[in-house]
Amino acid sequence: MVWTNAIVQGLLTGGLYALLASGLSLIFGVMRIVNLAHGDFSILAAYAVISVAMHTNLIGGIVLVLPVMALLGYFLQRTLLNKSLAMGVLSPLLITFAFSIIIQNVLLQVYTANNKSILTGRFSSESIKISKDLQIGLLPLVTFLAGVIVTVCLHYFLNHSQLGRALRATSDDPMAADLVGINNRHIYGIATAIGLFSAGIGGVLFGMRTQFAPSFGPIALVFAFEAVIIGGLGSLWGTLLGGVVLGIAQGIGSQIQPAYGILAGHIVFIAVLVLRPQGLLPKQMGAQK
């Protein structure tokens, strides 16, 4: 029964990794750049929610911070990243890495290195009893559902909306998209805005579930990255599956010994890379390639 429990908890955590990973995957799918500051943006959102919630309440904080994250993404893309895109593959990598260093250290200055968490009151301790030994926490369940909902929304957005079609067109061939009247620079901005919005949701849920510090951004990025690779590059559902597989691996690992949780996730990642480099669900889907 402990094992079932470990697997169920891991599966629910997987939704969080999928949330963090979907934005990373979308930005890569549309622009072929890897946002090395992705994890730091989610931690930034978590801190921002703490600050805003002090003046209003938790819901107010989330409602305010997430759109601001999207605006920040659009702004950074239109000002700095679009400029660097034209300069080869290296420049965007260097710039997002610099973002990562800057965000981490600004957070360190403002909030110190002490661990914090987003207080949710009773919400974080309530759970649904499935059987005598198996309980599902409400917060982990909400996290998982958020991962599924964001994946479904992204799928419908990319396949069934005007803007989503434009995103896919730019992803397939930016020059051809430009010829038929799509403004690529705007589309890139939209992609980063969605990316940071979903990173923000991930960060806020992450901050509700565990304590975090400014240095946690890279860890979040690594989990997101592993979910993308395990699931298969460029597949939305693959990313969700990758997140779940990573979560379950970590759950089983920590059941063996707490220190082995993260290591078990890494080992599954390496195993996929060696045995199935195209990932578990490599099918092309949505805007991704």
Partner 1 sequence: MIKERIVRGAGFTRALPIFFVLIVLVLATLPKYLGVMYQVKFVQAFILILLATMWNLLAGFGGLVSIGQQAFIGIGAYALVYFADILNLNPFVATLFAGIFCGLCAIPLSFLVFRLAGGYFAIGTWVVAEIIKLFTVQISALGGGSGISLAAFSGMGRETRIAAVYWSAVVTIVVVLLSTILLMRSRLGLGLTAMRDDNVAAGVLGVKVMRYRRIVFVVVAMGFGFAGSLIAMSNLRVQPDDIFSVNYSAIMIFMVVIGGLGTIEGPILGAILYYFLQDRLRDYGAWYLIVLGIIAIVTVLTAPKGLWPLITRDRISLFPTKYRVISPTKDGAR
* Number of alpha carbons in the 13 Å side-chain half-sphere of residue 255: 16
Tokens of 22: 């979907």
> Mask 227-266, x = binds partner 1 (CB under 8 A)?
-xx---x----------------------------xx--x
Give me the phi and psi of 172, to 5 degrees please.
-70, -45
Pairing between strand 127-129 and 135-137?
Answer: antiparallel
CB of 126 to partner 1, least distance (A): 34
105 binds partner 1 (CB under 8 A): yes
95 binds partner 1 (CB under 8 A): yes
The residue among 138 and 262 lying less far from partner 1, judged by its C-beta, is 262
The residue among 220 and 285 lying less far from partner 1, judged by its C-beta, is 220
- Residue from 4, 63, 102, 210 in contact with partner 1 (CB under 8 A): 102
Q: Which residues contact 136 (CB under 8 A, 6 or more apart)?
A: 8, 12, 127, 128, 130
The residue among 48 and 226 lying less far from partner 1, judged by its C-beta, is 226
The residue among 49 and 233 lying less far from partner 1, judged by its C-beta, is 233
CB of 103 to partner 1, least distance (A): 9
Count Cβ atoms below 10 Å from residue 113 Cβ, excluding itself.
9
| Kind and range of the H or E run holding 40 | helix 38-55
d(CA 210, CA 101): 22
Report the 3 state secondary structure along 184-196.
Answer: HHHHHHHHHHHHH
48, 214 contact by CB (below 8 A): no
145 binds partner 1 (CB under 8 A): no
280 binds partner 1 (CB under 8 A): no
Tokens of 239: 């990313």
CB of 154 to partner 1, least distance (A): 20
The residue among 94 and 153 lying less far from partner 1, judged by its C-beta, is 94
The residue among 99 and 197 lying less far from partner 1, judged by its C-beta, is 99
The residue among 11 and 80 lying less far from partner 1, judged by its C-beta, is 80
- Residue from 47, 74, 99, 206 in contact with partner 1 (CB under 8 A): 99
- Residue from 197, 206, 216, 225 in contact with partner 1 (CB under 8 A): 225
87 binds partner 1 (CB under 8 A): yes
Exposure class string for 212-229: b at 16+ Cβ within 10 A, else e = bbbebbbebbbbbbbbbb
284 binds partner 1 (CB under 8 A): no
252, 289 contact by CB (below 8 A): no
* Crossing angle for the helix pair 90-111 and 38-55, to the nearest 10 degrees: 30
Q: Which residues bind partner 1 (CB under 8 A)?
A: 28, 32-34, 36, 80, 83-84, 87, 89-95, 97-99, 101-102, 104-106, 108-109, 218, 221-222, 225-226, 228-229, 233, 262-263, 266, 269-270, 273-274, 277
